[in-house]
Amino acid sequence: MGIVNVTPDSFSDGGRFFSPERAIDHAERLIADGADILDIGGESTRPGSSLVPVNEEIERVVPVIKRIADRFEIPISVDTTKSEVARAAAVAGAHIINDISGLRFDDGVAAIAAEFGAGLVLMHSRGDFESMHSQKPVDDIIAEVSHDFVRALSIASRHKVSQDQIVLDVGIGFGKTQQQNLELLAKLGKLKDDFSIHPFLIGASRKSFLGKFLGGSEPQKRLPGSLAAAAVAVWNGAEIIRVHDVEETVRSLRVVKAIRDQL
């Protein structure tokens, strides 16, 4: 899953692809680099970011989604927590709704997924939009994520979202300590066993916890850590890897797959 941030304040690319033209060019490059899915986001979730009004978020993502859907044969994901944005994106051609709140902010997102038959990514996070990254860490992160998945899946089921539409995401970097991020990657297999009918998505690309291992490097210099996290995640069962650096990740995971095939 290649990331296309249509925002002026992304932590990783600083608004480089904020204009629709640049976003489309970036999408084309990600596809050429080997992306299987494009994730279009119009609201930054970096620490300290501000909530974007619904109309503004729609104005950011819908033109990009429409143009990508017209030009390319690739599944499109919209990264949003708002049902109004999800609906507009689905009408424009999005196939997947990627909800970082796991239906906590607006459970109407699930109704949109059911109505359009869209894929639905349910991510673990805690707190409201402004406090997601500043929550006091829980004692048992595996139990916390597992409990939240049960909650989110129950809401999705109530809105008639079928099981085969749902992907789960442990929410790397959202209110977790460095140790807990590592634990989630290391013990992903445990969660996979407990929720075996659902594919798992991991988004560790360029996250700040990786920078701590790399001397506090800025996001664009965290590629080695991002590749290591992606390799471990796939080894432990992740089916979808959400990344900024598609070409390098595809090449790295080709080696991981070749090794796993020997088991």
Mean pLDDT score of the chain? 93
Question: Which residues are the active-site residues?
Answer: 207, 242
What is the tens place of the pLDDT at every residue in 164-220? Answer: 999 999 999 998 999 999 999 999 999 999 999 999 999 999 999 999 888 888 988
Strand partners, 78: 40, 97
- Rounded to whole angstroms, the Cα distance separating 41 from 217 reads 24
Please name the residues in contact with 50: beta carbons below 8 A apart, sequence gap of 6 or more.
130
Q: What would you measure as the largest C-alpha separation in the chain, in angstroms?
A: 51
pLDDT tier at 11, thresholds 50, 70, 90: very low
Strand partners, 41: 5, 79
pLDDT number for residue 78: 98
In this predicted structure, the answer to whether residue 124 has a pLDDT above a threshold of 70 is yes
Report which of 179, 227, 178 is spatially closest to residue 206, judged by C-alpha positions. 227
pLDDT tier at 13, thresholds 50, 70, 90: low
What is the tens place of the pLDDT at every residue in 80-95? Answer: 999 999 999 999 999 9
For 2-260, CATH gives: 3.20.20.20
First to last CA, the chain: 26
pLDDT number for residue 9: 52
Backbone angles phi, psi at 203, to 5 degrees: -125, 85
Helix, coil or strand: residue 1 = coil
- pTM of the predicted model as reported, rounded to 2 decimal places: 0.93
- Rounded to whole angstroms, the Cα distance separating 63 from 67 reads 6
- Any idea where the domains of the chain sit in the sequence? 2-260
| Whether the Cβ atoms of residue 238 and residue 260 lie closer than 8 Å to each other | no
